[in-house]
Amino acid sequence: MKGSMKPVKKKKTEEPELEPLCCCEYIDRNGEKNHVAACLCDCQDLDEGCDRWITCKSLQPETCERIMDTISDRLRIPWLRGAKKVNISIIPPLVLLPVFLHVASWHFLLGVVVLTSLPVLALWYYYLTHRRKEQTLFFLSLGLFSLGYMYYVFLQEVVPRGRVGPVQLAVLTCGLFLILLALYRAKRNPGYLNPASSDRSLSSSQLEFLNRKGQEKTKGFPGTDTSGSLNNRTAKDDPKGSSRMLAGSPTKAKEDWCAKCQLVRPARAWHCRICGICVRRMDHHCVWINSCVGESNHQAFILALLIFLLTSVYGITLTLDTICRDRSVFTALFYCPGVYANYSSALSFTCVWYSVIITAGMAYIFLIQLINISYNVTEREVQQALRQKTGRRLLCGLIVDTGQYNRAHL
């Protein structure tokens, strides 16, 4: 009778413990330990770019991308247990906005040039990032810093003139805090879909079929258009109900199947290519909050726009009433003699016009949102209907009737 063989226990290989990082050290994108003081050392792409710039030679786009990746990886601030990475897109508004506004306050013509070029630059950067389908904190940084800087100029240049009372200042301050609170709520979860809850009712064979179809044609499935059809979706926005209905027919479910998130999308949900996840009743991806606007944060987004418009108009009125006395707000906005004689008044007047430009843009977004809500459509559905030429333009293109969900209310 053979004795029982005792299993031989394998010794676990002890992994070497990593040394704790000091406040100026960090692990770079290559997995190596680096130091903040060496941010300008050992960068062949940057050296090559400088050499080509000095010799007036063209620089390859790939080299520029590598240089920007290196700069964004090495731009860090000392922090406990390792230096923290700083997103490079938040820096330009902090530096350029005060410089541009101060330059614009030197002369009327400079103000016209600067205030005209700022929206053009912002639209160009938006087009650049939107085409590359990447997230950016530039617009969120620009919005928050604009709020803070306008409030700072108001306290430094307008309040000391004595025309603004304590109650008016308190109302404006409360409006600013309400804007920040509404933005915080709007930036929260817009209604991300959980893959586990949507895939629970589908069998493994159905999932395999949908995955195979998604790999064959990622932009669209056979028999549907590239942007995804909404005609066969259910009118109820219930993820569980739609999953149960679609589970019996893989051919029907493939129209709402997201191969990237591995789930069946409920009605009116969509996959955001910038956030990389499906959002329930997605309206659009808003660069001003660096997040999607969906079912869970749409009301907070509308509330943030409304509070911002009211607070901005109130602050513009107080400022114009202070620097251009005995004139109506509309008249003072276009005709305020002697405003450039004093640098303080010129800076306040320039900030007023900057606020007017931003307020006009936000008022347009707010108007479009109200129109879409009244017709019970989302911005993504509007854009899809325009691409497919299935929507009707009304009121000079402000209203687009998709004819799908306008029989009910939000």
Q: Which residues are catalytic?
A: 286
Q: At 52, give phi and psi (nearest 5°).
A: -70, -35
* Angstrom distance (rounded) from CA 163 to CA 324: 11
**Residue 14 DSSP class:** P
- β-bridge pairing 33-35 and 277-279: unpaired
Query: 302, 342, 305, 297: which is closest to 323 by C-alpha?
Result: 342
Identify the burial level of 230 via C-beta atoms within 10 angstroms of its C-beta, where 0-12 means exposed, 13-18 middle and 19 or more buried.
buried
Query: 174, 206, 172, 183: which is closest to 286 by C-alpha?
Result: 183
The rounded radius of gyration (Å) of the Cα atoms in the chain is 28
* Angstrom distance (rounded) from CA 128 to CA 150: 27
Q: How far is CA 242 from CA 11, 102, 232, 233, in A?
A: 51, 56, 11, 8
